[in-house]
Structure 1
Amino acid sequence: MRLAAILLAVSALSGCTAGRDYVPPKIALSRAYHAPVPIAAADAQWWRRFGDPVLDSLVEMALAQNLDVAAAAARVIQARAAVQESGAALLPQASVAASAERTRQSLRTPVGAVSSRLDLPRDYSLYTVGPQASWEIDLFGGLRRGREAARADFAAAAASEDAVRLSVAAETADAYLQLRGLQARYDVVSHELSTERQLADLLGQQAAQGLVAEREHQRVLGESAGLEATLAPLRAAIAGQINRLDVLTGQQAGSDLLHAAAAQPVPDAPDPSGSAIPGELMRRRPDLVAAERHLAASSARTGAAMADYYPRLSLNGLLGFASIGTGGLFAGNALQASGGAALRWRLFDFGRVDAEVAQARGKEAEALAQLRGSVLKATEEVETAITRLAETRAEIALRQQQVASLTRSRDQARQGYEGGALALIDVLDADRALLDANDHLAEARAQAARESVSAVRALGGGWEPRS
């Protein structure tokens, strides 16, 4: 009865055996995003759209020398070798073996006793040489599903390498744009500090002549010291981004990669490249491609585990020579051959097979959940990045208007102070307001460029899946 029940259970599983093909999951998404900016065509070298040769060289250096990229490439090599190994498992296995051994029979063993009575030698050397082969017939697709899993793992590794390259390129661009933004803010403060020092020198001369009160001179000196103090954290932040670029490009931090380079304006933020249609996004974003291939690999491993419900058949054969002396080793009467077949069926181990299949199905369900989570996260990243880019551009336009108005206000305040109509405090307030506005404008320009990078990264960055 137990055997009949097992055979019925095996027959019931015939619709979901190792031969079951993988079907990509359907993930419901809206037809399009609420993209407030136009999306340009995909561009594999998207960083060149910034029009900055220094950025171009840094990204290319990072892609060539970054150690995370090198590690990802090494994982692809491992996955490719695993594919070759899984393919070889479907083919006959052949090897050549040779051995030599020296034997002395004990007279207290049956073989030794018989040898002594028949006057056969107790001491002899045995030499064997010849090929042997074996072949497991993949009757129920277990090996084939293992090969499918290895191929899916290889595709996932290749997509993961593209994801790492995209991440490294984006991180390098982000570090560079942060650096240019910090340098722009440093220039704003330095320019304002120079102006304040000129005013302090003028007031110092006037105070010495008794034309203005000494407190006004000291007030401007205090303002100048405060401005100079704000340069220190900016210098530290600039050094931090340069060190970040050093490491991203595969060099030791502090290698002076950009310390000697002159400050450059923040490049304008280009429109991101790539399709915002969810279906195309899933084909373009390498991390989503990798997640889907991991799911395919898990599905194939489930099929491979289910193949253990069925018997395994293997063939083996041996053809060689054996002799107790090397002189006649290859003589015709030294030839020996054998062949056979073996059947292995875990018939009374279905409890363990059930557990292995359950584990494989659990991993497949986990991979499916991870894929769906990755897709949802991708939609969040796209929506957020594009919205932030649009809003930051709107902020830049308003900041420019603010700087223009405050520049006129500051000029009028200085004219009023020189004419005696306004106090020094009015001039200093106007200077602080203009400095703050210029600082925010420089920060907004750098942030817009960074949001452009984030949008390109969220859209897949122009990296196409490998065939």
Structure 2
Amino acid sequence: MLSAISRATLASSRDNTIGRLTRAVGTPRGYTEYAIGTQASWELDLFGGLRRGREAARDDLAASEASAGAVAVAVAAETADAYLTLRAFQARLGVARDQEANEKLLVSLVRQRFDQGIAAERELNRTTAELVGVRAAMAPLRAAIEAQLNRLDVLVGDAPGSNRASLVEARPVPVAPVPAGSAAPDLLRRRPDVIAAERRLAASNARIGVAVADYYPHVSLSGLFGVASLGTSTLFTGGAVQASGGAGLRWRLFDFGRVDAEVAGARGRHAEALAAWRGSVLAAAEDVETALARLGEAHAERANLERQVAALDRARTQARDAYAGGVTGLIDVTDANRELLAASDRLATVRAEEARSAVAAYRALGGGWQAANVPALASVAVDHR
């Protein structure tokens, strides 16, 4: 629809009869025309092409919104994963520092026994080497902590180092809750990537109808209504009214070969979208089942490691007391220290893996994303209208 209000200043030709007459009598050649009008046109959707085009556009919009939701969920999950990884490295560094303190006590004990002539120099060298080894293992942990701090800053949109002060202090890894659910279809509909693939499938189905509609004629109606006058005083009088109407027909009657190709292309894109949708559903089911399985196994491993660390801590204390009393050798103490360090380091890692598995499970189940104004998929079959 087009509406217009115009004022035009015109001049007659100097070379025609009226122009020569006006020059002879000295009358003005120019005049002003005032016009107001509106124009409208409609295409009759007799065979559903426009309706199917509108459906395709609506489904494309829903797919874009779901894709944006998938990106938001991915960024949130990546941020949570980076935070948990940071806390894991900090916990492992804390284990190494505790082990360093215990190795210092052992070195002091062996040095005291060496000074008294009870222990050999090789025992002092052995415990010193163990202490240096623990200190050397801290360097890659500190580097990993710095990397995760920078990673977190970038994920939240800040320059590296911006949030260091609030994160540099070590804190325990959060306890991982176990999300309820399975890879059921209703849970998979929470995933924005599945919804996006579903809406693209629906849009491709609607575009088949758009292509098929070109086999039929397209009828359009148009109309014009307005007023025009050489003066404003007579602009809205009956003599100034101008109105017209018309109808148009567009039919690709002699272009059916190209229409056939367009319909075949639309059906091919629909088949491709159907395969992509099926793949997204299978991948979503795999993600859910894998994440829940990893979460359950990490939970069981963490419980076993906690019992192992408690037992090894008691064994180390007993070995140290026995060594101080001269009942056992230094090798038993160093072995107990090494086993406790390895188990404690693994426990810190598994605690973080359990929490990260919970994050992966929530992400696999949709990450709390809510579909807004997403219609249900009516059909995945080829629609000929």
Common fold: TM-score over 0.5: yes
The question of 1:456 aligning with 2:331 is answered: no
Q: How does 1:398-413 map to 2 (within 5 A)?
A: 398-413=304-319
Question: Distance in 2 between the 1:335 and 1:271 partners?
Answer: 76
CA 354–438 in structure 1, closer or farther in 2 if over 3 Å, else same: same
CA 151–395 in structure 1, closer or farther in 2 if over 3 Å, else same: same
Which runs of 5 or more residues in structure 1 are unaligned?
1-93
Following TM superposition, by how much is the alpha carbon of 1:285 offset from its aligned partner in structure 2, in angstroms?
A: 2.1
Q: What is the one-letter code of the residue matched to 1:362? A: G
Q: Which of 255, 259, 263 does residue 357 from structure 1 map onto?
A: 263
The question of 1:147 aligning with 2:54 is answered: yes
The question of 1:339 aligning with 2:245 is answered: yes
Q: What is the one-letter code of the residue matched to 1:387? A: A
Residue in structure 2 matched with residue 262 of structure 1 by the alignment:
169
Contact 2:182/2:288 (8 A) holds in 1:
no
Residue in structure 1 matched with residue 83 of structure 2 by the alignment:
176
Which runs of 5 or more residues in structure 2 are unaligned?
374-385
Question: Distance in 2 between the 1:384 and 1:168 partners?
Answer: 20
Q: How does 1:427-438 map to 2 (within 5 A)?
A: 427-438=333-344
The question of 1:235 aligning with 2:139 is answered: no
Contact 2:188/2:365 (8 A) holds in 1:
no
Q: Which of 266, 286, 297 does residue 380 from structure 1 map onto?
A: 286
Contact 1:273/1:462 (8 A) holds in 2:
no
Q: What is the one-letter code of the residue matched to 1:465? A: A
- Structure 2 residue matching 1:271: 3-state secondary structure: coil
The question of 1:197 aligning with 2:98 is answered: no
Q: Which of 17, 29, 45 does residue 138 from structure 1 map onto?
A: 45
Residue in structure 1 matched with residue 223 of structure 2 by the alignment:
317
Q: Which structure has the bigger radius of gyration?
A: 2
Following TM superposition, by how much is the alpha carbon of 1:325 offset from its aligned partner in structure 2, in angstroms?
A: 5.7
CA 185–218 in structure 1, closer or farther in 2 if over 3 Å, else same: same
Contact 1:145/1:301 (8 A) holds in 2:
yes
Residue in structure 2 matched with residue 47 of structure 1 by the alignment:
none
Question: Distance in 1 between the 2:233 and 2:112 partners?
Answer: 115
CA 117–361 in structure 1, closer or farther in 2 if over 3 Å, else same: farther
Task: For residues 194-214 of structure 1, give each alpha carbon's deviation from its aligned partner in whole angstroms, at most 9, with x where no partner exists.
Answer: 111222234345545555344
**Higher mean Cα deviation, 350-359 or 435-444?**
350-359
Task: For residues 367-401 of structure 1, give each alpha carbon's deviation from its aligned partner in whole angstroms, at most 9, with x where no partner exists.
Answer: 11100000111121122111111222222233223
Q: What is the one-letter code of the residue matched to 1:349? A: D
Question: Distance in 2 between the 1:245 and 1:182 partners?
Answer: 14
Q: What is the one-letter code of the residue matched to 2:76? A: A
Contact 1:274/1:461 (8 A) holds in 2:
no
Contact 1:273/1:456 (8 A) holds in 2:
no
Task: For residues 303-324 of structure 1, give each alpha carbon's deviation from its aligned partner in whole angstroms, at most 9, with x where no partner exists.
Answer: 1122111111111111123345
Question: Distance in 1 between the 2:269 and 2:290 partners?
Answer: 31
Question: Distance in 1 between the 2:253 and 2:20 partners?
Answer: 48
- Equivalences, count: 369
Following TM superposition, by how much is the alpha carbon of 1:99 offset from its aligned partner in structure 2, in angstroms?
A: 3.8
Q: What is the one-letter code of the residue matched to 1:320? A: G
Residue in structure 1 matched with residue 126 of structure 2 by the alignment:
219
Q: What is the one-letter code of the residue matched to 2:144? A: A
Task: For residues 167-213 of structure 1, give each alpha carbon's deviation from its aligned partner in whole angstroms, at most 9, with x where no partner exists.
Answer: 23322322222222222111111100111122223434554555534
Taking structure 2 as the reference length, the TM-score comes to: 0.85
Following TM superposition, by how much is the alpha carbon of 1:286 offset from its aligned partner in structure 2, in angstroms?
A: 2.3
CA 202–372 in structure 1, closer or farther in 2 if over 3 Å, else same: same
Contact 2:12/2:19 (8 A) holds in 1:
no
Task: For residues 289-346 of structure 1, give each alpha carbon's deviation from its aligned partner in whole angstroms, at most 9, with x where no partner exists.
Answer: 2211111111112211221111111111111233456665555433322111111112
Q: What is the one-letter code of the residue matched to 1:239? A: E
- CA RMSD in angstroms comes to 2.7
Q: Which of 273, 288, 292 does residue 194 from structure 2 map onto?
A: 288
Contact 2:204/2:266 (8 A) holds in 1:
yes
Question: Distance in 1 between the 2:178 and 2:369 partners?
Answer: 17
Residue in structure 1 matched with residue 205 of structure 2 by the alignment:
299
Question: Distance in 1 between the 2:272 and 2:12 partners?
Answer: 60
**Higher mean Cα deviation, 280-289 or 256-265?**
256-265
CA 275–385 in structure 1, closer or farther in 2 if over 3 Å, else same: closer
Contact 2:183/2:285 (8 A) holds in 1:
no
- Structure 2 residue matching 1:96: 3-state secondary structure: strand
**Higher mean Cα deviation, 437-446 or 125-134?**
125-134
Q: What is the one-letter code of the residue matched to 2:351? A: R
CA 373–115 in structure 1, closer or farther in 2 if over 3 Å, else same: farther
Task: For residues 239-264 of structure 1, give each alpha carbon's deviation from its aligned partner in whole angstroms, at most 9, with x where no partner exists.
Answer: 22233332333333321256456322
CA 259–213 in structure 1, closer or farther in 2 if over 3 Å, else same: farther
Identity of aligned residues (%): 58
Question: Distance in 2 between the 1:370 and 1:360 partners?
Answer: 15
Residue in structure 1 matched with residue 382 of structure 2 by the alignment:
none
Question: Distance in 2 between the 1:345 and 1:168 partners?
Answer: 50
Q: Which of 270, 274, 280 does residue 181 from structure 2 map onto?
A: 274
CA 260–450 in structure 1, closer or farther in 2 if over 3 Å, else same: closer
Following TM superposition, by how much is the alpha carbon of 1:227 offset from its aligned partner in structure 2, in angstroms?
A: 1.1
